[in-house]
Amino acid sequence: MFEGFYKVRFQLNDTVGRSVMYARDGKMLGGNSAFAHIGTYEKIGDEVAIEIKTVRHNPDPNYRAMAGTDDATLLARGRPDGDLYRFDGRLKELPGAVFSSVMTPIEEEAIPIAGGVGEGGIVNGLYSIHIRMLDGVDGGLTGVMLLNDGRILGGDASFYYLGTYTSANGRWKGQILNQEHTPARGENPVFGGHEVGIGFAGTCDGEGALLDATALAGKRSLRLTAVLKLMRRA
């Protein structure tokens, strides 16, 4: 079955990138530290045909678009290789460039839903998330987060998130476990090398959410704040 939560290693000519991706019911939603990836898939015999568009959510110019444009469209076909899926394809905006990727499943642990989403709760969908550390600590994270009826899946180029939440009347709260899928200690010394538990609470509306949180990274207790912006309803 192709449906599930994956870490993705992709390559365009000689340039390598990483992201997370969730596939279900013909839709693909994911992304990384600078781009959201929004698309569809279709099963054709033993193959999976995908079309994915990239949308920038992080304006930092240090994150360059591999295709030379922020808005790119990928067309690719893939086949299973054991538990993996391997894809080959092209970008509409960059004729002649060679694209390939490997999607590796992330084990979705059985996370009990702490509660439900009531009236005035946060909207199901794919969000960008920008995390800022507090109390003078340098660092932060940017990535994407998929919220769906009390469950959280998300990540970026180095980490993936699993969690639960409850929400109603313009507020939400929950727990997230942040883990590495690709070593990040050199790039992110705050979270890199740790399994980080995060408890949060905040406000939400139809366009996004805010949260304040406490994270436990190793022996350090860290305060942080984050902004979520809705990019695609799910």
pLDDT of residue 1: 79
Q: Is the pLDDT of residue 226 over 70?
A: yes
- Domain ranges for the chain, please list them: 4-105, 125-233
Cα distances from 64 to residues 59, 72, 142, in angstroms, run 10, 13, 15
Mean confidence (pLDDT) of the chain: 93
Question: How far apart are the C-alpha atoms of 215 and 232, rounded to whole Å?
Answer: 27
88-102: buried (b, 16+ CB within 10 Å) or exposed (e) per residue? ebbbeebeeeebebb
Fold matches, 4-105 and 125-233? yes
3-state secondary structure the chain: CCCEEEEEEEEECCEEEEEEEEEECCEEEEECCCEEEEEEEEEECCEEEEEEEEEECCCCCCCCCCCCCCCCEEEEEEEEECCEEEEEEEECCCCCCCEEEEEEECCCCCCCCCCCECCCCCCCEEEEEEEEECCCCCCEEEEEEEEECCEEEEECCCEEEEEEEEEECCEEEEEEEEEECCCCCCCCCCCCCCCEEEEEEEEECCCEEEEEEEEEECCEEEEEEEEEEEEEEC
CATH of 125-233, one of 2.40.50.140, 2.40.128.380, 1.25.40.10, 3.30.70.270: 2.40.128.380
Digit-coded pLDDT (tens) for 86-109: 999 999 999 899 999 999 999 876
4-105 CATH: 2.40.128.380
pTM of the model: 0.94
pLDDT of residue 215: 95
Residues 6+ apart with CB under 8 A from 206: 123, 230
* 151: β partners: 148, 164
Share of the chain above pLDDT 70, in %: 94
Digit-coded pLDDT (tens) for 22-72: 999 999 999 999 999 999 999 999 999 999 999 999 999 999 998 889 999
Q: Using 50, 70 and 90 to split pLDDT, how confident is the model at 16? A: very high
Among 69, 85, 81, CA closest to 35? 69
pLDDT of residue 138: 85
* pLDDT (average), residues 100-123: 84
* pLDDT (average), residues 198-226: 96
pLDDT of residue 187: 65
Question: How far apart are the C-alpha atoms of 112 and 1, rounded to whole Å?
Answer: 23
Q: Is the pLDDT of residue 217 over 90?
A: no
pLDDT of residue 113: 67
